[in-house]
Amino acid sequence: MQRADPSGLEGIFDAVDMGLVVLDAQMLVLEWNDWMETATGRRRAELRGRRLEEIFPGESNARLATAINDALSAGTSSILTHSLHKAVFPLRSRNGRKLIHNVAVRPLPGPLPRCLVQISDVTVAVERDRMLRKRQNARYDAVVDSAPDAILTLDTKAAIVLANPAATEEFGYSAAELSGLVAADLFDDQPAWNEAWRTLLSGRRLTRPVELVARTQDGGASFVEMSAATWRSDTRVFVTAILRDVNERHRAEQALRQLNLTLEKSVAERTADRDRMWRLSSDVMLVARLDGAINASNPAWRALVGQCDAVAEQGGLGDSVPPEEQSKLGAILAELRATRGHSQFELQHRADDGSLRRISWSAVAADDLLQAVGRDVTAEREAEQALQAAEEALRQSQKMEAIGQLTGGIAHDFNNLLTGISGSLELLETRIGQQRYGGLDRYIGAAKRSASRAAALTHRLLAFSRRQTLDPKPTDMNRLIRDMDELVRRTMGPTIEIATRLEPALGSTLVDSNQLENALLNLCINARDAMPEGGRLTIETRNILLDAAKAREQDVPAGEYVSLSVQDTGSGMPEDVIERAFDPFYTTKPLGEGTGLGLSMVYGFVRQSGGQARIFSQIGKGSSVQLLLPRHFGEAEMSDHSTDLGEFQRARNSETVLIVDDEPAIRMLIGEVLEELGYLVLEAQDGASGLKHLQGKGRVDLLVSDVGLPGGINGRQLADAALALWPELKVLFITGYAESSVVGHLRPGMHVLTKPFTIEALAARIQGILGEH
Amino acid sequence: MATKVLIVDDSKLARMSVAKHLSALRPGWTRLEAANAEEALSLANREFPDIILLDFNMPGQSGLELAAQLHETHPLIPVAIVSANIQVEIVERAGQAGATFLAKPLREAALAAFLDAAEARLAPR
Amino acid sequence: MSKELVFTLDELELDALTELVNVGVSRAASSLRTMVGSEVLLAVPRVEMMTYERAAKLIGERESGELVAVHQSFNGEISGGAMLIFPEINSLELVRAITGGGLPLEDIIALEQEALAETGNIILNGCLATIANMLERTLNISLPEIIHGSGSEIFARSQLLEADTAVLFLYINFSVRDRDIHGYIAMLMDLPSLTALKALIGRMIERAGGESTPDHAAR
């Protein structure tokens, strides 16, 4: 074929080092250059006008066909690279080696559509690259391929891009199956894998191998230990993981663990119990050397002495013991060292909060070591001491209260007696001043009597304070009782009726009369307290003869006795109370009321006097205390306590004053004063008789009344009743106590005067009141 | 009654193109159009088309899925799947769905051949 | 600051273009299939016209890492550049999918550039050739070239940077060997090219049957 070649470029077509083929619009070969002839072994002459599929039968490449077609019809340029096509054409080098080539298909400009196919030989470059890579990776490849451990290379999506032979064995998948698989799917424990993966992707290292359970292709589990690292190629990041088969190790570990488990379990249980006791006990526990240095201590000890573990371990038992007990501790330790036995002792220790705690220790020395257990008894000891102190205090206060009660009553008595004395003297003075010398002895006598009664009271007081000394004298009890009448009445108060049943021919008894008075007073007070709502008190005396048997019962010698009994109508006492009634401090009264001393003192005195005291009681009926005293055959001392008080009544043509008071001396006193003043005086000794006066014909202008009256009507009640009869009646209450509660609310026309008062005061008051209309 | 053909393709142009070929080949026939599988199914149930032409590449339910569904509900209707993606697998799957595979862009000759065959199947009516 | 395109395709024209591209990538898929050895599905769900700045921004928003693009330029009645763009991570995966996975990793990395170039070449040619055929025109299309970089860098490398450059922006989805790989196709054209394209598409629509109305139309 002739070709015109004005430019001389045609030579280039055959000179170039690449294959050139020109195709026409029908895809038939137009030109075939020298290079192609050499590479294919086909001459251009036989190929012109033929299709490629014909020239290379069985090697049809759809891509090539499309490329050529598109180039001719649409003008596209295409490449076919060796990366995707093993061999587009069958090409060989001069020495017969296969040529690795790339193909480019381009449209050729010109009047007729033509297509150029370029074939480039890239064998050398490809081989060189492979060689380079091979050498670079030779060692790596050798290692990786021959490694017994599975090696996987993963991309950033954890898809496997590389798996060595060991990996295929480990997992049971072929390399092709593994390629592209997401590695996480190969492992059971996703969390462990995920965490490791996160660490690797963040650029950090895995600090230690990760244990994973791999799932093989046949579904079995395999224990592997993974170490992995991240590396870069250009801009791409990869992770290579080496997975070591640790199934053997795992099995061994399991077996060992199982064995240990059973063994440890039993040991642990026992140890746990002991540990628990050591840890949880509130008692302190120590193990110490025999010189007191602590080897071990339980938490309770450390909490007590407030030491941290380190200090506690190094300390000694004596560190917390105050100086005053150090020698005691020393002695204890010495004894333990010597005897190597058991010891119990108490020690004080300075606790963490600074307080001193008393620990009761139980220690044993054995094996050159001291084992000690201690209990904090501080609270117990303190409680004991507190109890003792409380008892002391109670005794003290009870004593004070007893004194208080007695002094109250006594002061009241003194009050009255003083009133009697001073009143009498005043009247005396008045009479003498008036030169009325008749009847003066009456006033003198009254004063003397009051004085001597005061003296007696003083004696009684003195005797009380000097309780221990008894001054027995032959005494007529009846007389004593009668003499005490006033006192008793006053003590009992207006709500209690007093009856006496005195044996007329009572024998005398050798007894300290003061003490006997005390005793009687005590019994009366008790009786009164047993009848808060009021009742009846009976004092009885009798002669009693005790035969041997009865005497033995009473624990007294047989013989004749005089009996003094005080009976009340109170609530009575049950058995157990009766039993303990004579015990010191025993009282059934609420705290603060009553002393509890009384009966024991009575008992003591009676026994001292050779007699006996007994209690009889019935619940709901009352109680009776009987004192038995040996009868004395001799003269009884007489004391003259006769009182003789009369009543004065004068009818005068002036205001009438009604005086109501159970105390005769008071009535007399006030009466005298009033008469001096020119008033008419009426007297009554209790509310009932006072009322009778008021109900009588005579007019009453002023009622002067004591508040406390016997017989059921007190002064206030009398006043109210009187006012009902005499609305214009004036009332003056006189009282020794601040009996405001009994007086109540003072209505207009009511007045109060407290004892003791002077005659002047009384007179002034009365005149003031009566002058009010 | 005129033969009804249902044309299903999300591209209006493609529908137009097929319609044009259809009117050239079978001018008397009725043409129905749907833009997606949903519309196609509802139309098929209402209008009872005789022949259906489907695009393979549609959003949502693909032409292949639609073909399979139609094969179940209207097994007697000849269905053709039209696609430029000529692959062995696709052709096979079209066949399994009871559909004929036609290459895109649709050549009139290819369409004519399909219509002839379809008519023959429908002939007894 | 990106401004909106003064010139754009209407709905029917975009629909037509979408259909063209779909046909084009379907052809490419069937081409790839022979190389891959198993089913390849390619789909282009949507086509949009936008400025290249917006296109670059869109890609930048969706892809945080580096990108790799296969670029081919074309000229004739319409001129411009076409790019197949992937996130770099996907590119290796794509190559592995196409080469079949039998190759060792180093080989894949070494061949990656070439394999990627050819794959891109197949897909882009599929689109461009189809467009050329349908529009009944020939284009002069270059051989493929690989570009690495960010969205804006990739667009900048394409020679057309005129203010009025329009971008035909497509999402493309691969389905190969049970892997789904997504990427983008961007075709850059200047204003005259766009005008010409519009006219060509219009004529295509006419030819395709603009005059016949169906008896029952779809929405």
B31 touches chain C (CB under 8 A): yes
Question: What are the residues whose beta carbons fall under 8 Å from the beta carbon of A753, sequence distance 6 or more?
Answer: A732, A733, A734, A735, A761, A762, A765
pLDDT the model gives residue A566: 93
pLDDT the model gives residue A3: 54
Tell me the mean pLDDT in the region A395-402: 74
CB pairs under 8 A between B and C: 90
Which residue from C183, C186, C149, C195 is spatially nearest to C167, judged by alpha carbons? C186
Q: Say whether B35 and C219 touch across the interface (CB within 8 A).
A: yes
**Portion 158-177 of C in contact with A at CB < 8 A:** 177
Alpha-carbon span A174 to A190, nearest angstrom = 23
Which residue from C176, C16, A93, A149 is spatially nearest to B13, judged by alpha carbons? C16
Phi, psi of A96 (to 5 degrees): 85, 0
Question: Which residues on C lie below 8 Å from A235 (Cβ)?
Answer: 66, 88, 148
Structural domains of chain C in order of their starting residue, each with its CATH number: 11-208 (3.40.1550.10)
Closest partner residue to C216 among B33, B85, B90, by Cβ? B33
Report domain extents, chain B. 4-122
Q: What percent of chain A has pLDDT over 90?
A: 9
Phi, psi of A89 (to 5 degrees): -120, 155
Structural domains of chain A in order of their starting residue, each with its CATH number: 10-127 (3.30.450.20), 147-245 (3.30.450.20), 281-376 (3.30.450.20), 467-632 (3.30.565.10), 656-770 (3.40.50.2300)
Residue C20 belongs to what H/E stretch?
A: helix C11-36
Find the angle CA(A586)-CA(A588)-CA(A590) to the nearest 5 degrees.
110
3-class state of residue C73 by DSSP: strand
pLDDT the model gives residue A235: 66
Q: Is the pLDDT of residue A163 over 60?
A: yes
pLDDT the model gives residue C1: 41
The tens digit of pLDDT for each residue in A207-248 reads 788 888 888 888 888 888 888 888 877 667 888 888 888 888
The tens digit of pLDDT for each residue in A334-369 reads 888 888 778 888 888 888 888 888 888 888 887 778
Alpha-carbon span A664 to A684, nearest angstrom = 9
Closest partner residue to C19 among B11, B32, B83, by Cβ? B11
Residue bearing tokens 């650029």? A203
**C-alpha separations of A437 from A421, A445, A671, C71 in Å:** 19, 14, 19, 162
Q: Is the pLDDT of residue A117 over 90?
A: yes
Closest partner residue to C106 among A79, A137, A155, by Cβ? A137
Alpha-carbon span A642 to A485, nearest angstrom = 12
Give me Rg for the CA atoms of chain B.
13
Query: A110-119, A406-415, A646-655, C26-35: which has the minimum mean pLDDT?
Result: A646-655
pLDDT the model gives residue C158: 64
Between residues A28 and A308, the one the model is more confident about: A28
The tens digit of pLDDT for each residue in A581-600 reads 777 655 565 544 444 456 77
Question: Which residues on A lie below 8 Å from C106 (Cβ)?
Answer: 133, 137
**C-alpha separations of C207 from B13, B21, B61, C201 in Å:** 10, 11, 29, 10
CB A200 within 8 A of CB A228: yes
Residue B7, Cβ density class (10 Å: 0-12 exposed, 13-18 middle, ≥19 buried) = buried
pLDDT interval class at A643 (50, 70, 90): very low
A159 touches chain C (CB under 8 A): yes
Q: Is the pLDDT of residue B30 over 80?
A: yes
The tens digit of pLDDT for each residue in A368-382 reads 788 888 888 888 888
C24 touches chain B (CB under 8 A): yes
For residue B2, give the chain C residue with the closest CA. C215
Chains touching chain A, criterion 3+ CB pairs below 8 Å:
C
Q: Say whether B11 and C39 touch across the interface (CB within 8 A).
A: no
Question: Which residues on C lie below 8 Å from A83 (Cβ)?
Answer: 99, 111, 114-115, 118
Q: Is the pLDDT of residue C4 over 80?
A: no
DSSP for A282-331? SSEEEEEETTSBEEEE-HHHHHHHT--HHHHHH-BGGGGS-HHHHHHHHH
Q: Is the pLDDT of residue A296 over 90?
A: no
C119 touches chain A (CB under 8 A): yes
The tens digit of pLDDT for each residue in A167-187 reads 888 888 888 888 878 888 888
ipTM above 0.90, yes or no: no
The tens digit of pLDDT for each residue in B81-125 reads 988 888 888 888 888 888 889 888 788 888 999 988 888 887 765
B93 touches chain C (CB under 8 A): no
pLDDT the model gives residue C112: 83
Q: What's the per-residue H, E or C state across A514-578?
A: HHHHHHHHHHHHHHHHCCCCCEEEEEEEEEEEECHHHHHHHCCCCEEEEEEEEECCCCCCCHHHH
For residue C66, give the chain A residue with the closest CA. A235
pLDDT the model gives residue A706: 86
Query: A400-404, A630-634, A731-735: which has the minimum mean pLDDT?
Result: A400-404
CATH of B4-122 given 3.30.930.10, 2.40.50.220, 3.40.50.2300, 3.40.50.300: 3.40.50.2300
pLDDT the model gives residue A468: 46
Alpha-carbon span B98 to B77, nearest angstrom = 9
Q: What percent of chain A has pLDDT over 70?
A: 88
Mean pLDDT of chain A: 81
3-class state of residue B21 by DSSP: helix
C178 touches chain B (CB under 8 A): no
The tens digit of pLDDT for each residue in A415-472 reads 888 888 888 898 888 888 888 888 888 888 888 888 887 877 776 666 555 544 456 7
Between residues A181 and A568, the one the model is more confident about: A568
Half-sphere exposure (Cβ direction) of A354: Cα atoms closer than 13 Å:
0
Give me Rg for the CA atoms of chain A.
67
The tens digit of pLDDT for each residue in C125-168 reads 988 888 888 777 788 889 999 988 887 788 777 655 555 577 88
The tens digit of pLDDT for each residue in A122-139 reads 988 888 888 887 777 776
pLDDT the model gives residue A698: 75
Q: Is the pLDDT of residue C219 over 60?
A: no
Q: What percent of chain B has pLDDT over 70?
A: 98
- End-to-end alpha-carbon separation of chain A, Å? 180
Which residue from A415, A429, A445 is spatially nearest to A708, judged by alpha carbons? A415
For residue C32, give the chain B residue with the closest CA. B87
Question: What are the structure tokens assigned to A123, written together?
Answer: 């064998």
pLDDT the model gives residue A648: 27
Q: What's the per-residue H, E or C state across A142-157?
A: HHHHHCCCEEEEECCC
Q: Say whether C129 and A236 touch across the interface (CB within 8 A).
A: no
At A601, the amino acid letter reads: M
Predicted TM-score (pTM) of the model is 0.48
- Strand order in A160-163's β-sheet? A160-163, A150-154, A236-245, A221-233, A210-215
pLDDT the model gives residue A762: 81
Alpha-carbon span C118 to A550, nearest angstrom = 143
Question: Which residues on C lie below 8 Å from A238 (Cβ)?
Answer: 105
